[in-house]
Amino acid sequence: MGCNDNLQPNQASQSMDPPGPCSVTPTALTPFTSADTATAAGPTVSRIKVPVVLAEPTIQIPIEATIHLGAIATEIKRVKKNVFLDQVKIVPEAPFTRVVGTDFFTFSRAKLFIAGHIRKNIEYTAAGGSGNPCTIPLIDQVVDIPFTGFTELSTTAGTLINLPILGINETSESSFLSDTNNLNARLDKFFFNNLVKFNEQPFGELVAANFFELDFASPEPAPEATFTFSTFTEKLVLELTVKVLQTQQLAIAVTSVVPVLPGLTPPL
């Protein structure tokens, strides 16, 4: 039932006053109690597998773009921005250092490739419009501005915090002598050994994006002209902070805890 449903038809048609606020009946919430759950010491944990932060750089990305609006505009009212990452890839560089006692390697230099786009939600007032001089249409337009590039990571510069771990595949083969005279090689008999290591893929995580932006119409209209425009130039500096992680196995010395929950069978 609406706020004016109690009016008669002739009263509703004659009333020009806006409807008053409608009453809303709130829903009462039931308070719940909570308390800390007791725990007991469990078995000792000596090894875990968790994401390790390899790098957390803040990358400065300058961008220039020309944006075409869908209608002739008189004023930009609001611009909301978000950043989306399509690619965060780390490519190692030499030298490689062997992990002592293993056939795994680490590296202290790498290139970090970044690709993505900035999504801008632009609200602007359109020229012309409804014919009412007191109202101006407000248009919303979404544009995507792509960017791609790379940056250096190294332990020397302090941008590579923890070392990635990389296993390299190994292949070996053995040949045999001829069974007839032991003077010739057998071309039909070989022994092969292939060791394939499946590495944890480093991955990226978006942390923060800081936008510094200058927008202006181009070309600038003459002072005596009515100020309208349909395109504008954007000069933007994006400071993008990302995490680069790799899941690694770590040795620790801690004790796990398990909750103490009352049940039908009491603990011994």
What pLDDT does 122 receive? 92
Q: Say if residue 8's pLDDT is above 70.
A: no
What pLDDT does 12 receive? 47
What pLDDT does 10 receive? 52
Q: How many CB atoms lie within 10 A of CB 178?
A: 12
pTM as predicted: 0.74
Q: Average model confidence (pLDDT) for the chain?
A: 86
Distance CA 168, CA 257 (A): 38
Residue 72's pLDDT band (boundaries 50, 70, 90)? confident
Distance CA 97, CA 94 (A): 9
Q: Say if residue 4's pLDDT is above 80.
A: no
More confident residue, 235 or 18: 235
Range in 1-15, 203-217, 220-234 with the lowest mean pLDDT: 1-15
Give 106: exposed, middle or buried? Use CB within 10 Å, 0-12, 13-18, 19+.
middle
- The mean pLDDT of 252-258, rounded to a whole number, is 86
Distance CA 55, CA 112 (A): 10
Percent of residues, the chain, with pLDDT higher than 70:
86
Q: Say if residue 130's pLDDT is above 80.
A: no
Residue of 81, 74, 84, 109 whose CA lies nearest to 95: 109
